């Protein structure tokens, strides 16, 4: 709560990987986990908190060597379930992680405008496959991902939590996504 003058609400937190984020649409819609450990507060709640388009998104990844990296997106919101929780991001993006969500330089990797997908609800742009089912977690997938904070926390399986800065989940100690109104 004290990060960058405080006022943040955690929407995602992974502290040790003890909770699987391979959940279905309704679980991501509502919520799962525990605020003290691993949690997703629910896409309905995220939508209601951000629907006016006046929120920032702060993402931090703490590596196993305790080095904390972050990225701040100036504008963040998601639409309602009727619009598949479509993600809206706008810059500028600043921080030590690098922008791997909004302005990646490759339209197949940019996540702004993407719909949320889960293993049971495929809304990605990958023809002939389901990124959420293949990668074992819900997210705003494009043609799969180069950024994916809800990956399977398992040695050798979770690839590209935040490409190119964090290539493998084995490097990750914890992740946090937080929002704050301007």
- Quick check: pTM over 0.75? yes
Mean pLDDT of 82-86: 98
Tell me the per-residue pLDDT of 142-159, one tens digit each, with 9 for 90 and over: 998 889 999 988 766 788
What is the pLDDT at residue 128?
85
Mean pLDDT of 11-25: 94
Mean pLDDT of 116-141: 95
Cβ count within 10 A of residue 113: 13
Higher local confidence (pLDDT), 126 or 79:
79
The topology under which CATH files domain 3-181 is Gamma Fibrinogen; Chain A, domain 1 (3.90.215)
What is the pLDDT at residue 153?
84
Phi-psi region of 62 (alpha: psi -120 to 50; beta: other; left: phi over 0): beta
């Amino acid at each position: 709560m004290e990060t960058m003058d405080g006022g943040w609400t955690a929407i995602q937190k992974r502290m040790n990987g003890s909770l699987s984020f391979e959940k279905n649409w309704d679980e991501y819609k509502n919520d799962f986990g525990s605020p003290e450990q691993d949690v997703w507060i629910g896409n309905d709640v995220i939508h209601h908190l951000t629907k006016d388009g006046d929120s920032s998104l702060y993402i931090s990844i703490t590596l196993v060597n305790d080095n904390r990296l972050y990225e701040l997106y100036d504008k963040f919101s998601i639409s309602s379930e009727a619009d598949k929780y479509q993600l809206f991001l706008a810059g500028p993006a600043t921080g030590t992680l690098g922008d791997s969500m909004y302005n990646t330089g490759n339209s197949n990797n940019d996540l702004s405008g993407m719909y949320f997908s889960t293993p049971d609800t495929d809304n990605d742009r990958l023809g002939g496959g389901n990124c959420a089912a293949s990668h074992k977690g819900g997210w705003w997938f494009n043609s799969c991902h180069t950024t994916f904070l809800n990956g399977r926390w398992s040695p050798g399986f979770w690839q590209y939590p935040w490409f190119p800065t964090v290539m493998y989940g084995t490097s990750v100690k914890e992740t946090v996504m937080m929002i704050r109104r301007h």
